[in-house]
Amino acid sequence: MIHTLPKTAACFENARAVAEYKLHAQARLDPTVWRYLSEGSEAGVTLLANERAFERARIVPRPLADVRGGHTRVNLFGQEFAHPIVLAPVAYQKLFHSDGECASAMAASAQDALMLVSSLASQTLEEIIQAAEKPLWFQLYWQGERSRTLRLAQRALAAGYSAVVLTVDAPVKQAVMQLPEDVRAVNLETPLALPLLLQGQSQVFDGWMAQAPTWADLEWLRGHIKLPLLLKGVLHPDDAARAIALGCDGLVVSNHGGRVLDGVPASLDALPGIMAAVAGRVPVLLDSGVRSGSDVFKALSQGVAAVMIGRPYIWGLATAGALGVAHVIRLMRDELEMTLALVGCTCIGDAQRIILANQGSKMGQA
């Protein structure tokens, strides 16, 4: 599915911005694969809203600050990373490069970044974490029933994954394509058959959603996962509060990159309500729409602990494998450091306090 492109190394060495990788990736990938990666659901309203939310946010520079000794280090559940840029879980990465998730894991390790590995990974969980040579987090999709879900989570934990992130916003997926024979979700058991419908029953309510997780399932899973358990796909403050009450250790504000339900709020726009409901009780991460280091800063300035990127690092993967992913991370980290410095911040904690310090001012930083 990948076209041969000569002088691949030159592509990433000459790239000076993450957006350049988008062009390289499009040139390399089969058009069907490119559409699968790039498009959102329906008309793409949410996909565009995610990016435009970051475009609307403004940053006010604060010159003359002494920022010597500044850094971007973060600590997430006892793990320290050099920066808060996290590789989001992206399915079937062998679609984009023959080295797949292993290449992304190696790049994350080289750049001291955290990576979440998808339940729909196209390489085994054990291969991927071995390539990383460090703990990763595991993104868990509900597997239709409790026993199957727990077996998958326990396999990841046995392999050395240090946290589980349950994704709940995609029980019915709309962004689908016919996978090539050599690409599949190798870590999953044979899919469950949909329940037989009685006359008058709905394919959605009584079919697909009959296998979707509920709050009771989340509470049950919390009782079986002893390591950190986060909930991904939260956009409503009441859901955030309920997840914490059930014992979740963290939240990921995400609309799945606009790939599930079109017309939902941009993740960045949903953040203030979520942060107010959480009130500092657990770490909150943001996913969807991040395209640059300045976007990372804008999310951090609303109090999140870390920020996930998805499509941008896949552009790097498609262009140059592990080297491309590593370079995308490095470019975004450099942009983040420059933004922090120009705003007078010396650490992530400074950025997280900017909005709080300017709540009553029209000159807030972002």
3-state class (DSSP) for residue 63:
coil
CA angle 286–20–296, rounded 5-degree value: 20
> For this structure, is 3 an active site residue?
no
Catalytic entry in 24, 97, 256, 327: 256
Dist CA 83 CA 74 (whole Å): 6
Return the C-alpha torsion angle 9, 340, 289, 111, nearest 10: 40
Dist CA 205 CA 360 (whole Å): 45
Stretch (H or E) spanning 178:
none
3-state class (DSSP) for residue 346:
coil
DSSP string, 12-61: HHH--SHHHHHHHHHHHB-HHHHHHHH--STT-HHHHHHHHHHHH-----
Dist CA 270 CA 236 (whole Å): 7
Strand partners, 59: none
Q: Which two tokens stand for residue 19?
A: 């957006």
Residues carrying an active site annotation: 256
